[in-house]
Amino acid sequence: MIRTLFVLLVLLVLAAAATSVIPHLKMRTELDGAGLEYARRGLEDTGSINLVTAVIVAYRGLDTLGEVVVLFSAATSVMLILSLFPLGRGPTDPSFIVAHTARVLPAPIMLLAVYFTTHSHLSPGGGFPGGTIMASAFLLVMLGSSSTPAGSKILPALEALSGTTFGLLGLWGTMTLGQFLNNRVIGIGNPGYLVSAGIIPLVSLAIGVKVASEFSGIFAAFRKSGGNR
């Protein structure tokens, strides 16, 4: 009883604090600050017609590298914890619907993921959503079988390769133009075309493969930690 009252009190104070700022809120009607600069110069600077991708991969590419590191450390900790403390309950047989869906859907899911990853500079999408969708295809395949995945060396290899590619593409900019992850090292081409925007599509591809292999590694670690039936 006292606990419920306390919870209600905390939430009420928070809600009151949130409502108290409403009169001071003004809807923005014009761009300002960094957003204004990105909208004004983004296309000219990077050749990417998708300004969000221009910010993520080119202007704030270093932050994205940090994000990939955060994701990497989370995936590594999950795999480490699960290998030290096995869950010890094997997989159950998939139901009829899951087993048959897992034979049909992974291919179209993969196609969508490749589209998202390679068209990041042209349409909504990018390495993170593309990689997550790729990993969901892997998860579906795994859920559709009753066996435990064998110890694969492909996932860690892909992860290391894509991470190194990201870093080297960034260093290429440092070497030639004196700026980490400058995407103009190979010229920005014709904006709006698939092969354009310098190294943005390549970096997106590297991020996509890295995210996909990390999530797939987490799923496989959960499955392996259960052991065989």
Residue ranges in contact with other proteins by CB under 8 A: 4, 7, 10-11, 14-15, 18, 27-31, 33-36, 38-40, 42-44, 49-52, 54-56, 60, 63-64, 67, 70-71, 73-75, 77-78, 81-82, 85, 87-89, 122-124, 126, 128, 191-192, 218
Among residues 28, 26, 53, which one has the least CA distance to residue 42? 53
Among residues 41, 52, 54, which one has the least CA distance to residue 200? 54
Helix (H, G, I), strand (E, B) or coil at 95: coil
Rounded least distance, CB 118 to other proteins, Å: 16
User: Nearer Cβ to other proteins, position 76 or 179?
Assistant: 76
Q: Which residues contact 148 (CB under 8 A, 6 or more apart)?
A: 90, 91, 223, 224, 226, 227, 228
Rounded least distance, CB 124 to other proteins, Å: 7
For the record, the structure tokens of 73 come out as 């450390």
Rounded least distance, CB 100 to other proteins, Å: 28
User: Nearer Cβ to other proteins, position 77 or 176?
Assistant: 77
Rounded least distance, CB 53 to other proteins, Å: 8
Q: How far apart are CA 49 and CA 61, in angstroms?
A: 17
